Amino acid sequence: MNIIPVCFDSMGVRSMCTFVHTDKLNILIDPGLALATKRLGYPPTNIELNTFYILKQKILDFARKSEVIIITHYHYDHYISSHDEMFEELFTDKIVLCKNRKTKLNFEQRTRGKEFEISVKKLCKEFHFIDGNTFNLGGVKIKCSEPLWHGTERSSFGYIIMLTIEAEKTKFLYSSDIMGPIESKNADYIINEGADIMVLCGPPTHLLGYDLTEAHMNQINQNVDKIIKKSKAKDIIYDHYILRDKNYMKYFKPWVNLAKKNKKKFLTAAEYAGVPIRQLEANREEIYNQEM
């Protein structure tokens, strides 16, 4: 099994798109990307816009190689809507596995999910809701969690689905917007899955004091420490929200050091992919002023 981060916040856009290559099946997870319409009072810079279109094409390139596409929830940085010009090519003749749009979602995501289902069923080879289900496709096992909180319990964002993909004696865990995780039950689920490699979503530390509290951060620190110490994973890819913070290393470095002590790697998706970290949104003000 080969895990390839396609596009992530550490690569310059809001995304967690991941490609899973196995000898028998190729899987693309959460093929979406987005830019903040306003950040620090500034619109997207030219370099952000250029990066967006380059990485959008990259998503399509990996979709062409994939038999299966999985969507964990209906935020635009995690899926492409039918209004997009590349929707048809992205999903035609694919096996589409996605979060059940009828349950445990807020109104906005239920609406998006319904529109997505109607449109994608006209194109795809197969369509299945994934909540709590397990699929065996060509000898590749895809286990989908029950809906888990998007961040905190009773979050207005609703729920996401975690994925565990098992093939060729390797187990990979993917969790989108758990934001830390904040919830201990999410951390326990991650540990108990026994994955060899995992992709996790870090917290929005740039919103500390607003949407994220000190109490949340204390819980996140405990949960991440526990995941590093107790999980089987040797590679922990940690990205998304946390890379929107210019000073993310303040939080990241202690986890990197703890991972080293436990003979593991704790790193961004860009680092795992061997490409430079590009915090374009976090540095928008400086980049905007340079471009003017």
Burial of 86 (0-12, 13-18, 19+ CB in 10 A): middle
Show Cβ contacts of residue 279 under 8 Å, excluding neighbours closer than 6 positions.
Answer: 9, 10, 12, 243, 244, 246, 248
Q: What is the pTM of this model?
A: 0.98
* Residue 160 pLDDT: 97
pLDDT along the chain (292 residues), means of 10: 98 98 97 96 97 98 98 98 97 98 94 98 98 96 96 87 97 97 96 98 94 95 98 98 98 98 98 98 96 86
Coil, helix or strand at residue 108? helix
* Residue 156 pLDDT: 83
Query: Among residues 204, 168, 198, which one has the least CA distance to residue 186?
Result: 198
d(CA 103, CA 95): 21
So where are the chain's domains? 2-285
Task: Give CATH superfamily name and number for 2-285.
Answer: Ribonuclease Z/Hydroxyacylglutathione hydrolase-like (3.60.15.10)
Containing 5, the helix (H) or strand (E) segment is strand 2-8
d(CA 195, CA 191): 8
* Residue 17 pLDDT: 98
Cα-Cα-Cα-Cα torsion 195, 201, 203, 205, nearest 10 degrees, comes to 120
Exposure class string for 222-258: b at 16+ Cβ within 10 A, else e: ebbebbbeebebebbbbbbbbbbbbebeebbeebbee
* Residue 239 pLDDT: 98
